[in-house]
Structure 1
Amino acid sequence: MIERPAMCSDRGIEFLFGRIERAWRLVGRPRADRQVAAQMVARANRVRDDGRFEEAALLFEEALKLRPRHSGWRVQAGHMRKEAGDLEAAEQHYLLALQARPKNAELALQLGHFYKTAGDLALAETHYRRALSLRPGWDSPLNELLGLKRSGWRGRQTVAASEAPRGLEYIHPTLKEELAQFADDAETLSRAAALDRLVPKLIPARPNDLLHEHAETIDVRRLGRMESGFWGIRRTLRGVQAVRGFGIAKVPIVEIEILLNGTRIHRGPPEGAYDLQFERDRDRVKKYPFNFWIDFTPFSHGLHACEVRLIDAAADTRSFHDHVVIAAPLKEEDYPRSDGIVEIDPADPRSVDQQIRERPSMIRDARRVTFPAGVRNILAMRTDQLGDLVASIPALRRLRELCPDARVVGLLTTANADLARTLGLFDEVLIADFPDDPVQRRRVMTLGAQEALGRQLAAYQFDIAIDLAHSNVSRDLLPLSGAKFLYGHGGGNWPWLTGAFEFDTRDRHSAMDTTPHSTKVLALVESLGTILKAHAPIVRRDDLSVDLLRPFGLAPGDRFIVLHTGARLKFSHWPHFTELALMLLEASDLHIVMMSDNPGLRETLPDALSGSARFQLLDQRLSFDQFDAFMSFATVVVGNDSGPKHLAALRGTNVVTLFTARINWTEWGQEEIGKIISRRVPCQGCAIFHDPEECGKGFSCIRDIRPQEVFKTVMDYV
């Protein structure tokens, strides 16, 4: 009996099987097999044309049971299974057909189509190549191969030219060359790997490519600083603050107002109208910078609505809105190294600007340490699990070595406190009520528990609080410590951190870290140790001779002062070097050497300088050794914030630096030797670099340093 297809219930097929059974009984089996199989195939073709591919596949498969060597039907069965989505069954049919007809080009082409449909491009390429070899010059497989290539496929293995498929000699030369590029995959991929190491974004752009149309906008660059508090992380205004930024507008901006809760508290004009460097049509829009110094001390503490309103020549307005927090002012005496904290006298009738600009400059020793009084109390936090503390043991040992006289208190959890008591690494262990909430998927602490912990930690007067966790699980506990210096891994939104350290290694395939956790925690502590100490060396040159200065009229034994007037950032130039030179020439017997990159300076020098034998202006380029000799053998070097002052300090020469407030003098002032002169201004830390017009105060932070202040400082070394 013929086995009927299990999934076929069509009445016509039932009738067909009945006729097949009767035919079997009437005629001999071989002849009946052929007739029955032919009827099945005819029926399969009709079912296929109706789009019923699974039924067609069943009929072709039944026919093949009667005539298993019929490769044409085998291929059709494969087609039907492929169309029905059964790729595994389809592949079996195709492979059986291939065994029967290994030299059939049409079958090779169909196998290529099948494997391309299945997403196996390597096998698709193999069979397309076979088809082209079996029928040289055939367009169909050639076009398929070229299509694979154009889609980005390059093959899993390179094909040597000698192994190129037969028949290429019958192909048009252009197509032949394109197909032959498959054989160059190794070289192509090697070249691509080399190109991958290059950085396209570093290629200089064409000037016109940088041009674009600027939108009208208000860009507020300074409005307090972000602090975390009762109102969340918000802009916080304490005492005298700068409200700085710029507007971009088509209609000229004539006035800017600052409003608090709808009440105007300040008004003033912007700083001119400046061209935008990359604006396509510079007459279309202009930039209008502003920088107002405002005392917020008289206003009540709390959350306020702040508006920066720009008014144009047509009396139209556009505004920037935000909520700000006004909080208690900070005292200069509590932050002696900060130039951004400025106090004024509320009883002084002068304006805020006058009080700030007329006050003395700050003159500080270049030698500096993070903790002048030393480190006495440290809070080390590991408020997570047992394994986390185990991984922190090398770091805690190193912390003990770095601060041997400090008291180290561990803030831990019940999961690791017992282990901590066996290690001898803590002078005291505190346990935080900081459970891991599985619902919120984070550790939590009630407000009451936070208040209690804060009171408990305040009694220790910590100098440093360090969170040893690499994840952000406990970073928000650090402010509860009340420590002066809050330290931990960075990468998150913690504006209150005093210092942060980021260290990750990366598996290029999984993007996961490859460094043991203990090493990462140790690196955090090592970085803290680096912060605690000064590392700038004095490096003198034994091969450098003072005789290099003879061509400039300086003999061995001559004492001289170098005034280096230049710097890469032109706006950071102190403008009073000529006045200083006159004062030094009159008050000392030293030679004065002024270095300048200003070709017009010589014509502006007063006769008292240009006519003096003890003064010379060097406005030509020196060799490095000559320049190094000036920096190395000078009695004092006075300069702007630039490379020469660093070189002079490296050679052990006394340096007086005139420092702008655009960045911190503590970061980029010379180290270990000399003095740094700067000014306290509310807009300190503007970081202006490419766009000096955005200052809004004419760089008073450098221009207001008085020649008398510099003169007095220099004379201390003379």
Structure 2
Amino acid sequence: MMKHLALLAQPTAAHATVAATKPLAPWGDDVKRILCLRTDNLGDVLMTTPALHALRTAYPDRHLTLLTSPAGAAVAPFLADVDDVIRYDAPWTHIRPPRTHPADLAMRALLEERRFDAAVIFTVYSQNPLPAATMCYLAGIHRRLARCRENPYSLVNDWLRETEPEQGVQHEVERQLTLVGAVGATTNETRMRMQLRDIDRKTLAATLERRGIDAEMPFAVMHPGASAESRRYPAERFGEAAARLVRATGINVLVTGSTGEASLVRALIDAAGPSVRPFMHDLTDAFELGAFAALIERATVVISNNSGPVHIASALGAPVVDLYALTNPQHAPWKTPHRVLFNDVECRWCYRSVCPQGHHACLRDIPSIEVANAALELIDEARQPTRRMQTIPHRIATHTE
């Protein structure tokens, strides 16, 4: 039976109707310097790139500045539509140790000094835009665009009322596109965007050569890590899938992760077993972001938890098998060949970093053979791009917009 993530029950509030706000007027020629706030992680910034491109397309002579987290700022050099970036560890995002306010006052002063004409506050529906809107208001930014659940009064003067999840949810890319579309910024080019440099591809080639890996041979990338424990498929199951994939194709498997994910990488390779060990390569902490993205660009298939590598694959058009924990419904791969694998559970859309039920069934109950089969299907389709896609097994979803 074929399943698609969108066919699962989406988070809604029973009998809830959210009143619409009045249509917004398009921004005019007085809006020359635009501040785009996305204070989340790298993947969130990448899912905002179509909206950034819409702003650039609608206002080609405008100056776009991205204000983002240190993690999000890492991708800024690869965003052609962004003119510059401001790094900010905002107090309204994530759980942080106690802090004092001088850094926040300094940021308010910096934004005032930069004299922005407008700000776009990008959020997910569980985030409150008002702290960011207050910062922009106090910095004298005259136009402030955001979705907000409650009446923001003067803090947001280009206001779209928040309708999620009461009236269903959108993919994160669509959510941000409709936000900027409300002020006239639209585009037909809605792919996620990441522009690699020649140095990134050269660095990748040099790194693989040093590791004794033939870059001309096909390879799969496996990434067993994720920032949240609830989004990690068991490393041992990754290893079982790797062994099946190697035996079926003879492909090299390059296993990636940060220094903190080294134990996951080792567990994956150990689980694959000695018979396929010559095809397994530990690339823990081997790359800076640019070379890592070049690795994903070159991969025959990427197999990953729903984390940064999935969004990089979407931005670069790489085929990806996404082990999708049902913690939220909005972050699936976008407009690239892919399979989304999950096990449906009643506790879906928990939005938790650690499984609140303790069973982790939305990922743990996916058989490793289905992971391998999904990768094999994507490899086969890449070889036969005109072949009609076949019905795929239980728990596997497909979408190739």
Q: What is the TM-score of this pair, normalised by structure 1?
A: 0.27
Bigger RCO of structures 1 and 2 (CA < 8 A, at least 6 apart): 2
Quick check: which has more Rg, 1 or 2? 1
